Amino acid sequence: MQLSAFFPTRDIGSDPAKIRDWAQAAEDLGYGYIEVPDHVFGAQARDGWTPLYDETDAFHETFTMLAFLAGATKRIRLSSGILILPQRQTGVVAKQVAEVDILCGGRLRLGVGVGWNHVEYQALGMEWKTRGARQAEQVEVLRRLWSEDLVSFSGRFHDLRAVSILPAPIQRPIPVWFGGSSDAVVERAARLGDGWMPILAPDDEAAAKLAALRGHLKAFGRDPAGFGLEAWLRMTEPDPLLWRAAAEGWRRLGAGIVMLYPMFRVASFDAQIETLRRFKEAAGT
């Protein structure tokens, strides 16, 4: 089972040397991936709505950071974790992803989600209610833009007429993994994705979701052996015993990758490096 390192965007600060050193530490420790999260805006609570992250939380821009990490590392794979795809223009995302894939030598994976923050959608001028349908069409368009020399596409959200993305990415197409745990996301991941990244405890609910996923894969004529599974271990406290239990639970459920997704703050750089070490030890890899 591989480990993925969640980029500590809220706590890493803005010193490029520390960002480089953190990424190289993850690579040297044998992590398989670095995942960079995504939020364009922070937002204040309002009208009974309280965000998971607010206006005080720093989020580095996903593709700019991935491009920087491409130059700072040599072997470790890179991923968005996760990009809120429906609040972005598809063609711009296709271009950005292709460029990062070139810069990192084909080490990129695109992790996508639909998000939870309707305020951010509104601020970006994007439609909240159609985000699932838009995401599904976007993935189809992205794959064609990465794989074909000239693309024409007419759909509900896109109208492309003989357009291209150059320079083309190294991977044609780039892998797309879906984040989220709703029934609709599970079905969409099985239909369109290369893998699934749930944020669930390794319990009966997770087992049921996996059974549904396998059923969808079979219905769509897809081979489950070629479909990836990465478990996000959402943790509210820095307790390696809890991390170990969650990692072992997901190993039993068949996850090929696990990632510590800390909801607690890790304020110092030394503590961020130590967290990488402690999670590797706890996960037993």
What are the pLDDT digits (tens) for 53-110?
999 999 999 999 999 999 999 999 999 999 999 999 999 999 999 999 999 999 999 9
> How far is it, in rounded angstroms, from Cα 273 to Cα 125?
38
Confidence band, pLDDT 50/70/90 cuts, at residue 285: confident
What value does the mean pLDDT take over residues 248-266?
A: 97
> How far is it, in rounded angstroms, from Cα 209 to Cα 126?
29
> How far is it, in rounded angstroms, from Cα 250 to Cα 270?
28
What amino acid occupies position 203?
A: D
Predicted confidence (pLDDT) per residue in 26-36, tens digit: 999 999 999 99
Domains of the chain are 2-283 (3.20.20.30)
Q: What is the pTM of this model?
A: 0.97
Confidence (pLDDT) at 165 = 97
Confidence band, pLDDT 50/70/90 cuts, at residue 284: confident
Q: Please, what is the angle between helix 62-72 and helix 16-28, to 10°?
A: 60
